[in-house]
Structure 1
Amino acid sequence: MAVNITPTGPGRAEITWTDDDDPQGYLARAVESDRLAYALESLGGAEGEQDAPRALAAASHTAELARLLERRAAVQVVRLRDDHALSWRQIASALYDDPDRQSSVRRMYDSGRRHLGV
């Protein structure tokens, strides 16, 4: 994995990557815009008592990052199918732990192709 996450102490980590790891700038923008911070805060369940504007910002940033990750996962499905010739069942098993969810994988594949412009 080219992106490195190094634990630096209790509750601390350092994330490093190069421009080659982030050619479209998704990582940099997620960090600079606080999307990643809000999403990690949400993942940890640490929303606590927030005023309404902060709660809205947290939800917005988390949802935006989730949508981006959905698009990136869809592109990965295209790569798994087209570049690695994996079956729908293999991909469904890996993504959903259920080889019978092939129709969900096919929808992701179609979405990924649209994002790739093919």
Structure 2
Amino acid sequence: MSVFVTKTSGHSAEITWDPEADDPQGYIGTAIESDQLAYALEALGDPEGAGLPAQRSPEQAVQAAASTAALASVLKRRSAQQVVYLHDELKLGWRTIAKSLLDDPEKQSSIRRMYNSAQRQAETKGDA
């Protein structure tokens, strides 16, 4: 993967990627063009109001929340797919994955739920 986030100066950064190789489904492009990434970063940087007080109207606040939720949903699915890879391809154990992702090796059942969710999604995709 050749997605790069480069700090350019001060509080600025530049994101570069190859749309064909790095984003064939268009998720990165959509996240940027629809302001999902901007809203999510704003929420990430605002621990008290999750980025919503910065919005000027209820409609903008709803748009910000919807954009953040949409990006979070995609990332949640991707994270579950990564669990499948860590377990099936790299042969990492549930405890190791739970420690790495959730900082608690006892949360194996949470990791297994993520794994099962990704498996169900893959099966549903195969049926389509």
Aligned partner of 1:80 in structure 2 is 86
Q: How does 1:8-87 map to 2 (within 5 A)?
A: 8-18=8-18, 19-45=20-46, 46-50=51-55, 51-87=57-93
User: Structure 1 runs of 4+ off > 3 angstroms?
Assistant: 46-49
Shift in alpha-carbon separation, 1:63–1:28, aligned structure 2, 3 A = same
Partner secondary structure for residue 7 of structure 1: strand
Instruction: State the shift of 1:74 in Å.
Output: 0.3
Instruction: State the shift of 1:49 in Å.
Output: 4.1
The answer to whether the 8 A contact 2:52-2:65 is kept is: no
Gaps of 5+ in 2: none
Letter in 1 for 2:69: A
* Identical-residue share of aligned pairs (%): 53
Letter in 1 for 2:15: I
Alignment partners' CA distance in 2, 1:33 and 1:14: 17
Partner secondary structure for residue 78 of structure 1: helix
The answer to whether the 8 A contact 1:78-1:109 is kept is: yes
Task: Name which structure has the greater RCO, CA cutoff 8 Å, separation 6+.
Answer: 1
Report the TM-score, using the length of structure 1 for normalisation.
0.93
Gaps of 5+ in 1: none
The answer to whether the 8 A contact 1:75-1:115 is kept is: no
Alignment partners' CA distance in 1, 2:9 and 2:52: 22
Shift in alpha-carbon separation, 1:49–1:86, aligned structure 2, 3 A = closer
The answer to whether the 8 A contact 2:36-2:71 is kept is: yes
